[in-house]
Structures are given as structure tokens and as C-alpha cells.
Chain A
Amino acid sequence: MTNDDDLALDLDRRLRALPDVPLPPALAAHVHARAHAELAARGAGRLAAFATATAVVSAIAVYLTWAVRFLSALAGG
């Protein structure tokens, strides 16, 4: 092992021995709650977007069906 390797190992050991930084419990709880709310909101948003897309597609289908019937009635009349 070279001096550089020894030095690197010693530095890494000293860095690893630094005290753990405690995550304040109040901060942990606050961030957890906010992030959960965000996750839930994103899920609801996706459902809402899906529902909106489905509603738009069905409205177009209903309109097209009506238009075909109307045009057929005009042509027949």
C-alpha cells in the first residue's frame, strides 16, 4: 500500500467517524406529511386527468353519432 492509499484510508476513517447529524423529529414529521400529501395529490390529479380525457372522448363519440344520424335523416328526408 502506498502513502497515498494510507492517507486516503485515514481521511475516510476520520470522515466516517464524524458524528451522525440528527434529523430533527419535528422536521422529519412535517416533511413526511407534506410529501405524502403531494404524492396523494399527484395520484388524484392523474385520476382526474384520466376521467377528463374519458369524458371528452365520450362527448365526441356522442356528438359524432348524433351528427351521423342527423345527416342520414337529412339525406333520407
Chain B
Amino acid sequence: MTHVGAAEIPSDLLARLRAGDAAAFSAAYELHAGPIFRFLMRLCGRRELAEDLFQETWLRLARHARRLRPDTELRPWLYAVARNLVRSHARFAVADAAGVAALARWWYLDARGAEPENAAVAADEAARLERALARLPLAGREVLLLVAGEGLAVDEAARVLGVTPEAARQRLHRARAELAKSLPKEDES
């Protein structure tokens, strides 16, 4: 997975966004659209829903850009919006494990064109991990995806989740333990 490093974010991006600068919006989109889509896909496990929530996330930025506080950190802000949208679709909190596995195959195979044997093996390995991830409670899945998947610092993830850094650390610890417990079962299947 590729991550957005802080150095890649132009220092004046937020100020330009707050002024309603369309070029700044495009720059923010170029930097963060891919990671936000990836996060949503893994968090909700349903492609159509992820696509809808992805669109809503960016529409919210367009609506709120001029009202962002000067000290807003855009990356956590976007993840927080995306995460809250998933939360508001609580009925999808338990991702469909079979659907997630199918998505994993699509990411590896269909989206990459050819289907060489080694890609199929890698796809199975990825599918096992995706299934185990999808079976985690939403609270565990979101913190794991933010920190391990998206490369956010625990403090940033805590801001996204609206909890203290200590609470985020505890959630992360629990989520890792649950994932570690469920992975051998997936490896056997």
C-alpha cells in the first residue's frame, strides 16, 4: 500500500482550500483520493457503498472547505469524515466476509489484468487476511486500518476516532490480539 507522507502535502494547501481555490482542491484530491477510497473499501467491505461514501466524503470537503479551521489537519479530517459516514451506515458494520474475499481477488487479479499463478497464491493470502480483518468488530478494524494500513500515527488515529491517544492504543492492542487469534483459523481454511 502507498501512503501520503507529510512532506508531500504542500504547506499552503489548507489556506488555499479555505479560500476556495479549485486548484488546491484538485491537489488535495490527487493526494488523498486513493487512500480514502482504499480505507473505505476495507472498512465497509462493499464496493457500491464505498463508492457512495467516497463521493460524499469529497462533497463534504467541497461544502466545508471555506469553514475549515486554520489548524485543521486535512488527512485526519478526511479519514474522520469517511469513518463517520461508515459509522452512520451501522447496518453495514459487519462486513460480508465472502464479499471481502471476492473484492480481494478483484484487487489482485481483475484490476491488475493477467492472472499468473503467483498472483493467485498472493491473492489467496491477501483474501485470508482480508477475511480475518472483516470479521473484526468495526472499532478494531478502523483503528488497525488507520494505523497499520494507512500509516497514521496513533495520535492522529485517536483524533480521527474521537478518543484519547491512550484509548486508541488500547483499541489497537485489542484489535491486533483479535486479528492474531483469528488468522490461524483463516490460514487453515
Using a CB–CB distance below 8 Å, which chain A residues touch chain B? 4, 7-8, 11-12, 14-24, 27-28, 30-32, 34-36, 38-40, 42-43, 46
Contact = CB atoms under 8 A, between A and B. Distances in A.
Contacts of B61: 35
B94 interface: no
Given A18-B130, A19-B126, A42-B20, A31 B34 contact: no
Contacts of B20: 39, 42-43, 46
A11 B180 contact: yes
Contacts of B59: 34-35, 38
Contacts of B79: none
Given A7-B180, A19-B107, A23-B33, A38 B63 contact: yes
Contact of A7 (B1, B129, B145, B176): B176
Contacts of B173: 4, 8
Interface stretch (B5-13, B37-45, B80-88, B156-164): B37-45
B22 interface: yes
18 contacts: A7-B176, A8-B173, A16-B148, A17-B1, A18-B104, A21-B107, A23-B33, A31-B33, A31-B54, A32-B29, A34-B55, A34-B58, A35-B55, A36-B25, A36-B26, A38-B62, A39-B22, A39-B25
Contact of B37 (A23, A34, A35, A38): A23
A27 B129 contact: no
Contacts of B145: 15
B58 to A, nearest CB: 4
Contacts of B179: 11
Given A8-B176, A31-B54, A34-B55, A14 B25 contact: no
Contacts of A32: 26, 29, 33, 58
